[in-house]
Amino acid sequence: MTPHAIAPLTHDDVQVLKPSPADWTDFVQRELDELGIDMSELRRQARERDFQSTAARELWVMVGDSKT
């Protein structure tokens, strides 16, 4: 699920969405819930480079080591 944007910024053919901090936090938590893990588990998987699924790896690429 894509987080709601507060304002789209458009540059040529690229659209950048900037969710509010609350929307971003909600988005990340929903994704973690769907995966059945928490952020510390996602960090562990990233540290060990052993993701439980493609979706977990994709989420890590999006959020990195954010403090959500």
pLDDT digits (tens, 9 = 90+) for 42-63: 999 999 999 999 999 999 999 9
Give the model's confidence band at 27: pLDDT under 50 very low, under 70 low, under 90 confident, else very high.
Answer: very high
Answer whether residue 5 shows pLDDT above 80: no
Amino acid at 13: D
Instruction: Give the span between the Cα atoms of 66 and 68, in whole angstroms.
Output: 6
Q: Quote the tokens at residue 9.
A: 């910024």
* Core vs surface per residue 28-37: b (16+ CB within 10 A) or e: beebbeebeb
Instruction: Give the span between the Cα atoms of 43 and 41, in whole angstroms.
Output: 5
Percent of the chain scoring above 90 in pLDDT: 65
Strands (E), the chain: 8-11, 14-17
Q: What is the pTM of this model?
A: 0.72
